[in-house]
Amino acid sequence: MNPISTLFAFLMNLPERPMRWAQGRLSKGRLGWVFVAPNLAVFALFTFLPIAFDIHYALTGGTNLLPSQRPYVGAENFASLLDCTDHFDANTCHRDLFWHGVWNTLRFVVFQVGLMLAFSLLTAIVLNRKIIGRSFFRAAFFYPVLLSPVVVALIWKWILQREGLLNAAMIGVGAEPTNWLLDPHWAFFWSVFVSIWAHMGFYTLILLAGLQAIPAEINEASQMDATPPWRHFRRITLPLLMPNVMVVLVLGLIRAVQVFDEVYVLTGGGPGSATVFVVQYIYKTGFADQIRQYGLAAAASLLLAGVLLVLTLAQMKGSQKKNG
Amino acid sequence: MRHAIIAASLAVLLTSATARAGEVRIACYSDGNECESTEILAARFMQANPDIKIAIDKMSFKAIQESLPVQLAAGQGPDIVRTTDFGPIMAYMLDLTPYVKDPAYWEANYGGTLGWMRRDANDHGIYGLMTQLTISAPLVNKTLFDQAGVAVPKAGATWDEWATAVKQVKEATKIVGGMAWDRSGARFAGPSISMGATYFAADGSPAVIDDGFKAMASRYVAWAKDGTVKGDIWSQAATGYRDAFDDFANGRIAVYLSGSWQLSRLEKTVGDGFDWVVGAEPCGRGGCTGMPGGAAFVALKHSKHPKDVGAFLDYLASAPVYAEWMVMTSNVPANVALQKKGLPYKLSKAGTAAIQQFGADAATLTPLAYKLQGDVMSRPIFGAVADRIAAVMAGQMTLDQAYARITSDVADAVAASKK
């Protein structure tokens, strides 16, 4: 045995004694906790503890950062955020920017997740066929996923700004240039588009894996029965792909609700507040405003977390029903 | 063996502690070359004071603004920071009075701006040194005015006269916008004070909306609508500061309301690309004023080396060093004696004329402009004004709604700061 193997074997045998000792003293069920304890400790430190802090901040007020110096205000921060004459009209709300963020986020989720799912599915189906340059296209579609969100936003800003590439091309073909990022509708459209462009590759990959897992004999049997393509897709492909679609839906939804970095760099939330999302409001209130209202930011983040939790549970329930 | 390990660990700890003794860390951002020029002066200071080490950490303005209050609350952070935003860090400022050689010298020469870093009228501490005195004023692309055959408005001209002239230049030269203002409530404050805005109630509490403020706000929005003002600088974002420097440097606007801190950028970027001048402060019924401002090196009280911090800032504040520093950075000095004396700037002809104009403006700004700049609530006021006027320009609310929002935003900020 070479020295490295000896050292490796020695290191591997090191935990044996304490494990035997623990096994002797703990029942089988309790021993499991020993194995998950390190992971739980990390989870507690970096997830549960921040959540506890978040709740504390949400229930306290003032501008002090240290928890011990913050006065208890109860549900005041939540009441302030939810104070509206008409919740559908952000301008009637006390915290109007928060509600602009809420409605913009909702619109973004509907369009971004819906369109991304559709395009990812379409792309996965095409890339699953025997087309020329399939490997190249798979890599090309996945490539934007590797870019940092800030890089993605800067690239698109360069394309979409007034003197950008897109307007140069439009002038080149004799069309009128457009202020893509200064018109509220276009700015929102491009926010959705850029987000889809940046993340679609990842979801396409998940769906592609699902498509490749469908047994070939099922497809062959369908072909032998001369099933029309649309029917084949609806009755065979889609049901078998449903677990992957659910994963894409849940991940896409969570990501869309959390949208911030790309859009913040691309539009800064503008024009006006046309592309302000809830996370930008949280960032602004907690970290960028001159008077930092950590309590309000924490309350907004808890409301966001609540919405995410409800959405995730609803989807889990939905998928359980389908499977059951 | 165990003893050897403990001894070695202690030795490492002690060595690192010795290496850090006397080290003063400065978090610095530059408008032009402020950090680099401070490095040159710090090197000279360290030669004369070999037991003190000055380490300058260069970072962005945004990084300092956003991370510093959090760092300080956690008991972390630099010994000195370059910042324009004194309100959020007032609780953490170090009073340098016991650490400077002659507090009376500071009071006599920097007294006007020392007040910006003080909590109230009863506070007489010395918390930092202004690294510049900035003055906002219209920067004028004279080449465009000449091409249009329009005269640059002279001292005493009103904002309406400026707007008319700018519109004529825009129409004659087909530029994209007549004038642009940085997206900043501080920039808006100068013109609004000129129109008669008072910003404070009789008891000293913030009262932003009045007839003077409305007179400027309604004009500004109307100018954005008819293209006199390039409104997208304001409406493009929901929050935060945006400057219009690129538009000015590329000849896309005729007038740019910015200030003296752009001087070194102008020298570098515009060069002799076109002729530019600093216009006289436009007037209204409240006077002819821009806004003063600027960044200071602020001392922080968690510093383990307050004596060294005091010694270094004392060195920078001494008249010959401060004068050299201002020449290096092309900044207007906050030192009153140097303002009067004048400095031998090494600038182009346009740059020299500009800094003379800024220096002259410093003496004529209204007292209200100085008071507003130094008020603890100035930043929340500026933020609310910029965001709400921008929302009007983006078509998301009316001016009346914006006035109501500015009032409630400022009231919320006041209430939050009192908790």
Asked if B394 lies within 8 A of A270 by C-beta distance, the reply is: yes
Comparing A90-99, B261-270, B275-284, the range with the smallest average pLDDT is: B261-270
Q: Per the confidence metrics, is the pTM higher than 0.90?
A: no
The Cα B179–Cα A308 span in angstroms is 45
Q: Does B196 touch chain A (CB under 8 A)?
A: no
Q: How far is Cα of residue A136 from the mean position of the Cα atoms in its chain?
A: 26
**Where residue B76 falls among pLDDT bands split at 50, 70, 90?**
confident
What's the pLDDT tens digit per position in A177-214?
Answer: 998 999 999 999 999 999 999 999 999 999 999 999 99
Domain boundaries for CATH 1.10.3720.10 within chain A: 88-323
Angstrom CA distances, A218 to A233, A235, A237, B197, stand at: 12, 11, 10, 78
**B416 contacts in chain A (CB < 8 Å):** 61-63, 291, 293
Where is average pLDDT lowest: A131-135, A278-282, B284-288?
A131-135
Chain B contact probe: residue of A163, A291, A292 with most B CBs at under 10 A: A291
**Which residues in A238-254 are b (16+ Cβ under 10 Å) and which e?**
eebbeebbbbbbbebbe
Mean pLDDT of chain A: 91
Q: Looking at beta carbons, which residues of chain B come within 8 Å of A276? A: 238
Q: Count A/B contacts: CB-CB distance under 8 Å.
A: 95
Which one-letter amino acid corresponds to residue B4? A
| CA-based nearest distance B296→chain A, Å | 17
pLDDT of residue B310: 97
Q: Give A11-64 pLDDT, tens digit per residue.
A: 888 888 888 888 788 777 788 888 889 999 999 999 999 999 999 999 999 888
CB-CB under 8 Å, A97 with B236: no
Answer yes or no: do B419 and A182 touch at CB < 8 A: no
**The architecture CATH gives domain B23-133+294-344:** 3-Layer(aba) Sandwich (3.40)
The enclosing H or E element of B180 equals strand B177-181
* B69 confidence band (pLDDT: 50, 70, 90): confident
The answer to whether B224 faces chain A, any CB pair under 8 Å, is no
Please give the radius of gyration of chain B, using alpha carbons only, rounded to the nearest integer: 23
Window from A16-25, A125-134, B318-327 with minimum mean pLDDT: A16-25
Of A62, A267, A290, which has the smallest distance from its Cβ to B88's Cβ? A290
Domain residue limits, chain B: 23-133+294-344, 136-292+365-418
B19 pLDDT band, cuts 50/70/90, is: very low
pLDDT above 90 for B6: no
- Asked if the Cβ–Cβ distance from A290 to B66 is below 8 Å, we say no
Asked if residue B248 lies in contact with residue B198, where contact means CB atoms within 8 angstroms, the answer is: no
Inspect the interface and report whether the beta carbons of A270 and B413 lie closer than 8 Å: no
Whether A61 and A76 have beta carbons less than 8 Å apart is answered as: yes
A237 to chain B, any CB pair closer than 8 A? The answer is no
* Helix/strand/coil for B242: strand
Reported as a single tens digit per residue, the pLDDT across B161-220 is: 999 999 999 999 999 999 999 999 999 999 999 999 999 999 999 999 999 999 999 999
Across the interface, whether the CB atoms of B66 and A271 are under 8 A apart is answered no
Nearest CA in chain A to B386: A272
CATH topology of domain A88-323: MetI-like fold (1.10.3720)
Fold of B136-292+365-418: D-Maltodextrin-Binding Protein; domain 2 (3.40.190)
B59 — contact with chain A (CB < 8 Å)?
A: no
| pLDDT attached to residue B10 | 43
Task: Please report the ipTM that was assigned to this predicted complex.
Answer: 0.81
Give residue B17's pLDDT: 38
